[in-house]
Amino acid sequence: MILPAWGAGDPGSNPGGPILLLVFIMTEKYTKYEIARIIGARALQIAMGAPPLIKVPNGLIDPIDIAMKEFEKGVIPITVRRRLPPKKEVIV
């Protein structure tokens, strides 16, 4: 999305008119790399003895499968910090 932005905060300060800036609108959706990292980190925690955050169905013993079920239910307490170019961060 491209939005107009003015020089020093008001339209009169930039005699040439608005400067177009590219503004990235970040969504709450994770990338496939972020999903892989979240599930992998949680699976490692489960493998090292952390208690599952969901009721584990009978026969489900693989930590990766348990972590995937937790991710699908949205109970994994892990946040993602995206670093953006002008030294800004977005926490998803």
42-89 pLDDT, tens digit each = 999 999 999 999 999 999 999 999 999 999 999 998 988 888 888 788
> For residue 28, what pLDDT is reported?
64
> For residue 92, what pLDDT is reported?
80
Q: At what angle do helices 32-47 and 63-73 cross, to 10 degrees?
A: 120
CATH number assigned to the domain covering 27-91:
3.90.940.10
Contacts by 87-90 with C-beta closer than 8 Å and gap 24+?
90/26
What is the identity of the amino acid at 16?
G
pTM, two decimal places: 0.65
